[in-house]
């Protein structure tokens, strides 16, 4: 149980063909799944507690991160593989169809989920997916991303973090940058970070959603954007996706990780979006 949790939490492990998935369940009521990549289940704990008053809330560590271990730790993580994992978890709980909120790389996961497993979800909320291939400057962004990955794999953690922020067009105070990437990380943080750079980023940001399938399929797709993300790469990518789908984006409080920054306000807005049917 996460130390910030206030709702009773059932913690479980699900064996999958190439590993095992850590998952947590809170509350009772209609199923809402909260997924991210690379962030793990703990990142959603405060929001999950708030939503658990009238929903069954599923959270999970994405494959290869923290407690969700792969038999082959060098296997890449893609939105489609993570979508398969979410489907297996929903089936394991004998619940659904679900509403699934995905943030960042998890937003790419839920788009793959809507494309390929529509029977398991009646709505997905893709909050700030980093879909670089939808942008006109995709080639430059993907090249900068490759440089960032190479910088990290060469051992320059701080340099890679700076390049990430520059490519994402996110500005942070220097003391925050140093706190995030300037020191020696704990072992699990280091392992998760390495997996993200080596095996998750390319498959996630390079994901090309099937816009026609999403637009014409039975699953409603909501594109979420943080109110404070204006001009950032994920804001631009989200707006491009919404335009391609012919829908207006749903604005959420905060920035790229608004559910962490202010879970109470985020939960209020999420409930409004769920009530829209």
Please report the pLDDT score of residue 263 as a whole number. 98
Q: How far is CA 265 from CA 27, 40, 200, 235, 269, in A?
A: 19, 21, 30, 19, 6
Tokens of 187: 């072992």
Cβ contact 275:170 at 8 Å: no
What does the pLDDT look like over 133-169, one tens digit per residue?
999 999 999 999 999 999 999 999 999 999 999 999 9
What does the pLDDT look like over 173-206, one tens digit per residue?
999 999 999 989 999 999 999 999 999 999 999 9
Please report the pLDDT score of residue 247 as a whole number. 97
Q: State yes or no: pLDDT of 101 exceeds 50.
A: yes
From the list 17, 129, 151, the residue with the least C-alpha distance to 75 is 17
What does the pLDDT look like over 201-222, one tens digit per residue?
999 999 999 999 999 999 999 9
Please report the pLDDT score of residue 3 as a whole number. 39
- Model confidence, pTM: 0.95
Give the distance from CA 113 to its chain's centroid: 12
Please report the pLDDT score of residue 96 as a whole number. 76
Q: What DSSP letter does each residue of 168-186 carry, written as one string?
A: HT----HHHHHHHHTSPPP
Residues composing the chain: 277
Name the 3-class secondary structure at 251: strand
User: Measured in Å, how far apart are the chain's first and last C-alpha atoms?
Assistant: 32
Please report the pLDDT score of residue 4 as a whole number. 47
Q: Could you give the CA distance from residue 89 to residue 66 in angstroms, rounded to a whole number?
A: 17
Tokens of 16: 């999958």
Cβ contact 55:74 at 8 Å: no
Average pLDDT over every residue of 102-116: 97
Instruction: Map out the domains of the chain with their CATH numbers.
Output: 9-136+206-275 (3.40.50.1820)
Average pLDDT over every residue of 245-270: 97
Q: Which residues lie below 8 Å from residue 156, measured CB to CB, with a gap of 6+?
A: none
Q: What share of the chain is helix, strand, coil (3-state, %, to 5)?
A: 50, 20, 30
Q: What DSSP letter does each residue of 198-209 carry, written as one string?
A: IIIHHHHHT---
Q: Could you give the CA distance from residue 216 to residue 210 in angstroms, rounded to a whole number?
A: 10
């Amino acid at each position: 149980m996460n130390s910030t949790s206030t709702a009773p939490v059932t913690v479980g492990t699900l064996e999958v063909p190439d590993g095992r998935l850590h998952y947590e369940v809170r509350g009772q009521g209609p199923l809402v799944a909260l997924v991210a990549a690379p962030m793990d289940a703990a990142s959603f704990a405060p929001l999950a507690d708030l939503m658990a008053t009238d929903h069954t809330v599923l959270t999970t560590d994405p494959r290869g991160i923290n407690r969700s271990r792969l038999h082959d730790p060098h296997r890449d993580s893609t939105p489609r593989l993570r979508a398969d994992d979410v489907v297996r978890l929903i089936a394991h709980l004998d619940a659904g169809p679900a509403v699934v909120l995905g943030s960042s790389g998890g937003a790419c996961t839920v788009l793959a989920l809507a494309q390929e497993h529509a029977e398991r979800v009646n709505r997905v909320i893709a909050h700030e997916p980093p879909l670089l291939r939808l942008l006109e400057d995709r080639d430059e962004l993907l090249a900068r991303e490759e440089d960032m990955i190479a910088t990290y794999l060469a051992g320059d953690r701080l340099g890679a973090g700076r390049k990430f922020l520059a490519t994402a067009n996110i500005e942070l105070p220097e003391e925050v940058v140093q706190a995030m990437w300037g020191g020696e990380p704990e072992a699990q943080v280091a392992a998760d970070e390495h997996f993200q750079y080596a095996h998750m980023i390319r498959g996630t940001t390079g994901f090309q959603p099937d816009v026609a399938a999403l637009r014409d399929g039975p699953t409603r797709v909501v594109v979420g954007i943080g109110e404070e993300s204006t001009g950032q790469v994920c804001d631009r990518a989200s707006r491009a996706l919404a335009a391609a789908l012919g829908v207006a984006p749903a604005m959420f409080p905060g920035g790229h990780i608004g559910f962490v920054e202010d879970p109470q306000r985020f939960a209020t807005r999420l409930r409004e979006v769920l009530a829209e049917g």
